[in-house]
């Protein structure tokens, strides 16, 4: 199955792409996806994960435009065609 | 924000000045009087907050409190539209006051030559009906959020980075607050960020429209929604937001919808 992953803010800069397709399997969770993306884009890792490997609590996550809290990622599975949007906080003023 | 008669009556010059916005459906003279009665605190008057203040002054807000420390630098001028080149080295808030008064002398302007922190937030927010939060640091934004939620004041949080902008309106007790979104300041955010004025001004203008709607009581604010736009490949989307039941700022506070 395939997911669409969108990156915003500094994550977009770090990954050098606004969005990309990612091959995935239905038995793997959102938390595993975020860990996978942190490996795939080393420069994006600090915006996704803390030093201990936990998902940053201030990372905004949406699946098909519905908000998902970081602490729900372990229990969240993904389906073919899901759009996962990752938005680290921004504060430019 | 109540209509208290005399002070909020519009004179002939004001009716003429605001004539074209008095034609906006659901706004009208009652809405204009509510704006005239209102005080808005703008935290930082840079690329985002400066344009928000400009739009609010044009719209006829009764009073603006502008908080921004420091002196103007040459490299502020690509985006801080209330500043002028001859003002380099002088306090930013003074340039802002001068520019806003040139635009609309009906607006009362109070300037605070300091940024918002835990020490001054409650006092400044306590004197305002609504807050526009546009500081480039999360600590300032979270201090504003905490005081606004405690005092029950609506807060428009508007932010940008690169060609992207984000905006939400916090209605204390009814919507998620900024600490629900961002329970901890992200360690990799930097005070200096890539910016075109065309982007920061867009965010500031959207924030001003949120403030105008909330104060005048028409339209639908961005309540429990985050507007996200990206002008690189132009797209505007809204993302529903959720309250954190364990939010240390707004968790204990609940107000029924009016
Ligand atoms: Zn909250």
Contact indicator for B106, B12 with CB cutoff of 8 Å:
no
Tell me the nearest-neighbour CA distance from B217 into chain A, angstroms.
26
What gap in Å lies between CA B36 and CA B27, rounded to an integer? 13
Q: What is the end-to-end Cα distance of chain B in Å, rounded? A: 15
Nearest by CB to A93, which of B136, B162, B230?
B136
pLDDT digits (tens, 9 = 90+) for B176-216: 999 999 999 999 898 899 999 999 999 999 999 999 999 99
Contact indicator for A26, A53 with CB cutoff of 8 Å:
no
pLDDT of residue B8: 85
Domain that holds residue B78: 38-240
pLDDT of residue B252: 78
What gap in Å lies between CA B197 and CA B141, rounded to an integer? 21
A47-83 burial: b if 16+ Cβ within 10 Å, else e:
bbbeeeeebbebbbbbbeeebbbbeebeebebeeebe
Please judge whether B164 and A90 are an interchain contact, meaning their C-beta atoms are less than 8 angstroms apart.
Answer: yes
Q: What is the end-to-end Cα distance of chain A in Å, rounded? A: 40
The ipTM (two decimal places) reads 0.95
pLDDT of residue B7: 65
Q: Which residues of A touch B197 (CB under 8 A)?
A: none
What is the Å distance from ligand 1's center to B251 Cα?
A: 6
Contact indicator for B104, B112 with CB cutoff of 8 Å:
no
In the sheet that A83-87 helps form, which strands lie side by side, from edge to edge? A19-23, A2-7, A83-87, A60-63, A66-68
Asked if residue B79 belongs to a domain, the reply is yes
The parts of chain B modelled with pLDDT lower than 70 are 1-7, 254-258
Q: Which of B86, B90, B135, B141 is nearest to B118 (CA)?
A: B141
Count of residues in chain A: 93
Asked if residue B167 belongs to a domain, the reply is yes
Contact indicator for A9, A24 with CB cutoff of 8 Å:
no
Q: Which residues of A touch B182 (CB under 8 A)?
A: 58, 89
Asked if residue B25 belongs to a domain, the reply is no
pLDDT of residue B258: 45
Specify the CATH number for the domain of residue B102: 3.40.50.720
Nearest by CB to B193, which of A69, A88, A92?
A92
Tokens of A3: 């997911």
Domain count, chain B: 1
The parts of chain A modelled with pLDDT lower than 70 are none
pLDDT of residue A68: 97
Residue-range domain boundaries for chain A: 2-87
Helix (H, G, I), strand (E, B) or coil at B70: coil
CATH superfamily ID and name for A2-87:
Beta-grasp domain (3.10.20.30)
Interface test with A, best of B184, B186, B232, B245 (most A CBs within 10 A): B186
Asked if residue B13 belongs to a domain, the reply is no
Asked if residue B32 belongs to a domain, the reply is no
């Amino acid at each position: 199955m395939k997911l669409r992953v969108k990156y915003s803010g500094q994550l977009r800069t770090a990954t050098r792409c606004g969005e990309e397709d990612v091959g995935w399997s239905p038995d793997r969770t959102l938390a595993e996806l975020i860990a996978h993306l942190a490996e795939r884009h080393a420069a994006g890792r600090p915006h996704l994960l803390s030093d201990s490997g936990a998902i940053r609590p201030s990372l905004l996550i949406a699946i098909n435009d519905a908000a998902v809290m970081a602490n729900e990622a372990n229990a969240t599975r993904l389906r073919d065609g899901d759009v996962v949007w990752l938005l680290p906080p921004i504060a430019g003023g | 924000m109540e209509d208290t008669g005399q002070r909020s009556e519009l004179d002939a010059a004001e009716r003429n000045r605001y004539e074209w916005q008095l034609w906006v459906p659901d706004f009208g003279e009652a809405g204009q009087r509510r704006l005239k009665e209102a005080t808005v605190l703008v935290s930082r008057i840079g690329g985002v907050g400066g344009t928000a203040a400009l739009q609010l002054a044009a719209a006829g807000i009764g009073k603006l409190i502008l908080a921004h420390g420091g002196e103007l630098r040459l490299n502020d001028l690509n985006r801080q539209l209330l500043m002028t080149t001859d003002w380099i080295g002088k306090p930013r808030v003074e340039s802002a006051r001068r520019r806003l008064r040139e635009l609309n002398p009906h607006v009362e302007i109070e300037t605070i030559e300091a940024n918002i922190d835990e020490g001054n937030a409650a006092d400044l927010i306590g004197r305002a009906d609504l807050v526009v939060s546009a500081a480039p640091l999360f600590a300032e934004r979270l201090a504003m959020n905490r005081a606004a939620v405690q005092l029950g004041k609506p807060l428009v949080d508007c932010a940008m980075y690169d060609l992207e902008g984000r905006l939400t309106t916090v209605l204390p007790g009814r919507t998620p607050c900024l600490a629900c979104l961002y329970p901890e300041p992200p360690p990799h955010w930097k005070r200096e960020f890539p910016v075109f004025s065309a982007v920061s001004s867009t965010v500031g203008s959207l924030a001003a429209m949120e403030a105008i709607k909330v104060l005048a009581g028409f339209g639908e604010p961005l309540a429990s929604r985050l507007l996200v736009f990206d002008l690189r490949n132009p797209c505007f989307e809204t993302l529903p937001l959720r309250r954190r039941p364990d939010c240390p700022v707004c968790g204990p506070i609940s107000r029924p919808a009016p």
